[in-house]
Amino acid sequence: CVKKVGDVELTFRLSPGSAPSEKPLTLQLLSSMPISNVQIRLEGRDMFMGVIPVNVKQTDEMTYIGQLVYGSCSSGYMVWRGFVSFSVNGETKTAVFDFLADDNG
């Protein structure tokens, strides 16, 4: 997923790409310019599944990586929403990314 927030383009990637429930996932956030104070959390878009903070580690001034695991949904269809907040040029910005868990398509 790619989002543009002001002058910053953010790329949000999950590995594996099928985003399986109850399995370790790696999240990578790439920025088109240097950003700081990156915080990421996941929440269910249509159903409350709690708030899952994602601890990210900065690998360079434009790349952040973190690990996460989230639960499965009994309905078999779960859309997660990732909230990414960050600072750029002293200003706080937020981007929102939606993705489908267990996406085998």
Identify residue 35 by its one-letter amino acid code: I
Q: Do residues 28 and 13 make contact, with C-beta atoms less than 8 angstroms apart?
A: yes
Q: Do residues 60 and 92 make contact, with C-beta atoms less than 8 angstroms apart?
A: no
Residue 105 confidence (pLDDT) above 70? no
Q: Do residues 67 and 42 make contact, with C-beta atoms less than 8 angstroms apart?
A: no
Identify residue 72 by its one-letter amino acid code: S
pLDDT for the residue numbered 79: 92
Q: Quote the radius of gyration of the chain (alpha carbons, Å).
A: 14
Residue 34 confidence (pLDDT) above 80? yes
Give residue for tokens 């996941």: 42
Q: Where residue 24 falls among pLDDT bands split at 50, 70, 90?
A: very high
Of the CA atoms within 13 Å of residue 91, those in its CB half-sphere come to: 7
Q: What are the structural domain ranges in the chain?
A: 2-100
pLDDT for the residue numbered 65: 97
CA–CA distance from 83 to each of 4, 8, 76, 78 (Å)? 14, 15, 23, 16
69-92, pLDDT tens digit by residue?
A: 998 877 778 999 999 999 998 999
Average pLDDT over residues 5-31: 94
36-69, pLDDT tens digit by residue?
A: 999 999 999 998 889 999 999 999 989 999 999 9
CATH of region 2-100: 2.60.40.1930
Largest CA distance in the chain: 43
